[in-house]
Amino acid sequence: MKPSTMILPSKELVREMDVAAPRYTSYPAIPVWHPAESGAAYADVLQRHSSDIPLTLYFHVPFCPVICHYCGCNTAKLEREEQTAEYVESVLREIQLAGSLLPERHRIAQIHWGGGTPSILQDDEFLSVMRRVRESFDVYDQAELAIETNPMTCSDKKIRFLLDNGFNRISIGVQDFDPEVQQKIGRCQTHERTAEFCRLVREYDVRSLNFDLVYGLPGQTLKKAEDTLAKVVDLAPDRIAVYSFAFLPTLRDNQKKIDKTSLPDTDLKFDLYLLTIERLQQAGYEMIGMDHYAKPEDELAVAWRERRLRRNFMGYTTKAETDVVAFGATAISDVSGYYCQNEKDNAPYYERIKNGDLPVQRHMSLDADDQIRRKVIMDLLCNGVVVKQEVSKRFSIDVDDYFSPELARLTPLAAKDLVRNDPSVVEATILGRFFLRNLALVFDNYLDGRKGPQRGTTFSRTV
């Protein structure tokens, strides 16, 4: 039975709204950032950073035991065990480097390990990084310690080690439980092992257990998706992120292993999307932002209802007032209106750290217009609403004047009952919440060369 508040878009509307768009983990999106000659600009930002603003630390581990065919992450197959030791050595130096630039000791509200497969590190490697973090920063007692895991490669011993050492948010990549789909994506992960892994995690007092699901994968059918979703609901994770598979074999060599003819056609992909959101809502999950679902009591759902959700490169977060300092190859920092991304390949990353340089490969300093638009876009994506007076006051503008062309461009979306533009707010309707990226697009000043050229842009589809 449908919950009374449940609403689903029609397939026609989904088809109409399916366009290429940034995922807005940042604004401006990464393709418009500039190449960086050195880490000097980032060093300057860190040197001026106020310790009143707590930090989120992100650690990227770009190794996996095997590379899945569908993977879109920055990672490589681990060939030798010593590779992680070499990598951790550079990360340790990078922590010291960044920590020494900050004018005072900073507080840490959240630490997130992603990749790749971060659990591939040896226990002593984890401990040495955490020790270095505590030498350079003050970690809150209640800090959120999150890690992405793969139950097939993270042993019981390893997950117990992580949980014993304070990790309190565990994310599991599930994608799909069907063995045929798993075989086609090169990731065999039995339902039994995932269930056992969840049971083990639940023995500890974790704040939340998250699943990632992907629709649009090769071999997926509605029947298989029904089965996967039933198993997911039965395992009852606190949060579920639902992603659309972006098939980009010209950019990702590993995706060339996917048989194109086994991919769901657009029609089936839309049905898979609709089925997923319907089943999750029926199971009592609340839709959060553009692609997350959470149990109503989960802090993400509470933050969504209280309009204090934020978005960063790790997804949605309740840590609204933190800046992100990131470590490791390809890692992305977001500090005081300045974004930067580290070298993507390990060799130049090691080289620059060895030379005592922050390994920034590309970056972007936000101008006044970028900051205003970032606030509006993030408010839409995180909370579904822009409170005009709040934005006007914060940036000393009149929102209706400043965004006059954009508000006019919302009119056709308002006619489809996706958004409401009244004197006090721009707000996504219940139906519009399925298409937050489409609403955000209206306020993006870089699209179509409006403000500057996009370099090598290949955005994923909104559905």
Q: What is the distance between the alpha carbons of residues 266 and 280, in angstroms, rounded to a whole number?
A: 21
Is residue 114 involved in binding ligand SF4 (CB under 6 A)? no
**Cβ(379)–Cβ(289) below 8 Å:** no
Q: State the burial class of residue 275 (Cβ atoms within 10 Å of its Cβ: 0-12, 13-18, 19+).
A: middle
Span near ligand SF4 by CB under 6 A; candidates 68-76, 123-131, 290-298, 447-455: 68-76
Helix/strand number for the chain, H first, E second: 17, 20
Structure tokens at 334: 């977001």
Phi, psi of 120 (to 5 degrees): -75, -20
The residue sitting closest to ligand SF4, measured at its beta carbon, is 71
Is residue 268 involved in binding ligand SF4 (CB under 6 A)? no
Is residue 64 involved in binding ligand SF4 (CB under 6 A)? yes
Number of residues that this document lists for the chain: 463
Kindly state the smallest distance separating residue 185's Cβ from ligand SF4, in Å: 8
Q: Which of 379, 316, 278, 402 is nearest to 6 (CA)?
A: 278
**Which CB sits closer to ligand SF4, 119 or 454?**
119
Is residue 116 involved in binding ligand SF4 (CB under 6 A)? yes
Is residue 117 involved in binding ligand SF4 (CB under 6 A)? yes
- Cβ neighbours of residue 1 under 8 Å, at least 6 residues apart? 282
Kindly state the smallest distance separating residue 253's Cβ from ligand SF4, in Å: 12
Kindly state the smallest distance separating residue 117's Cβ from ligand SF4, in Å: 5
Three-state DSSP class for 341? strand
Kindly state the smallest distance separating residue 186's Cβ from ligand SF4, in Å: 8
Is residue 214 involved in binding ligand SF4 (CB under 6 A)? no
Site string for ligand SF4, 141-180 (x = CB under 6 A): ---------x----------------------x-------
Q: What is the distance between the alpha carbons of residues 99 and 139, in angstroms, rounded to a whole number?
A: 13
Is residue 118 involved in binding ligand SF4 (CB under 6 A)? no
Kindly state the smallest distance separating residue 329's Cβ from ligand SF4, in Å: 13
**Cβ(318)–Cβ(81) below 8 Å:** no
Could you tell me where the beta strands, DSSP code E, fall in 76-191? 76-77, 107-115, 138-149, 169-175
- 8-state DSSP, 455: S
**Which CB sits closer to ligand SF4, 26 or 150?**
150
**Which CB sits closer to ligand SF4, 139 or 174?**
174
Measured between alpha carbons, how far is residue 360 from residues 250, 333, 343, 367, 453 in Å? 26, 10, 6, 19, 21
Span near ligand SF4 by CB under 6 A; candidates 33-41, 113-121, 156-164, 446-454: 113-121
**Which CB sits closer to ligand SF4, 136 or 171?**
171
Span near ligand SF4 by CB under 6 A; candidates 111-119, 212-220, 367-375, 417-425: 111-119
Which residues contact ligand SF4 by CB under 6 A? 64, 67-68, 71, 73, 75, 115-117, 150, 173, 187
